[in-house]
Amino acid sequence: MKVLLNDEIIERNEAKVDIEDRGYQFGDGVYEVVNIYDGVPFTLKEHIERLYRSAKEIGILLNEQPEHLCNRLLELIDVNNMTKGGLYLQISRGVSNRSHHYDQSLTPQLVAYPLPYKSVEDAQTKGVEAITAEDMRWLRCDIKSLNLLYNIMVKQKASEVGAFETILIRDSFVTEGSSSNIFIVKDGILQTHPANNLILNGITRTKLLEIMDVNGWEYKIQPFHKEALMEADEVFLTSTTSEVMPIIKIDGVTFSQAKPGPYTSKFQAAFREAVKTETKTTTEKA
């Protein structure tokens, strides 16, 4: 494996991070995960735009242009001969003596490396289970920061009971999953939480809503209560690695006869087609 460390592509065993890197000590940084299909990083531009937005929101100023980073990531994919899988990339504020406050002149540190391919097709076909938990995270969930401790805690609780995801509830409203966005379908209408500070505006979430617009499919962007979640006809989640994933059971309650519902299946197919179209177009341009 070769990795990108700052602006240099090197062997995995040569990549070192200083023990006083603020990402390591404070979680002081931001990250992204990009899926790769047929050697093409899907929605790479959108992921990098969100990375730069997150960095700006926490005061990390990046001098490198987004286009340059995109080109380096394409090189990283090429040297690793990747056809499918993912890329993980993170930017920390930099290295300094341990202190909560920081010097504005710190040099951000970037790391990017390949993630192995994990098929989700079987889970997408069968559907997955979820549990619910109180959303006790901070109020800037729109920033894709390295601070994921509570997400990890509730994700682990799901894993321990054989569930795939934990759906978070704040003040009786459904916000999102521990690592996903949550959608419900009721009477044929899709509904999901607004992209405000209480959720991360997922790239897959955004892409699916674009697909909805193109096809003229009705949806609502508005908060909904846990009661609406539990009374929904269909429930599914979206994320980079899970794409469109049906949820067939929540807290022991079964949905859509314990199988992916017709609307969810339609959205799955439309998303897959969008991936094929965009990756094919990118390949042809190259």
Residues recognised as catalytic: 144
CA 233 to the chain's CA centroid: 25
Tokens of 205: 């979430």
Angle subtended at Cα 198 by Cα 65 and Cα 188, rounded to the nearest 5 degrees: 105
CB atoms near residue 267 (< 10 Å):
26
Query: Which strands make up the sheet holding 109-115, listed edge to edge?
Result: 8-11, 2-5, 109-115, 84-92, 29-37, 40-41
Tokens of 220: 């609502």
Burial of 44 (0-12, 13-18, 19+ CB in 10 A): buried
3-state helix, strand, coil in the chain (%, to 5): 35, 30, 35
Strand residues in the chain grouped as ranges (E): 2-5, 8-11, 29-37, 40-41, 84-92, 109-115, 128-134, 165-170, 173-177, 181-186, 189-192, 219-221, 234-239, 243-250, 253-254
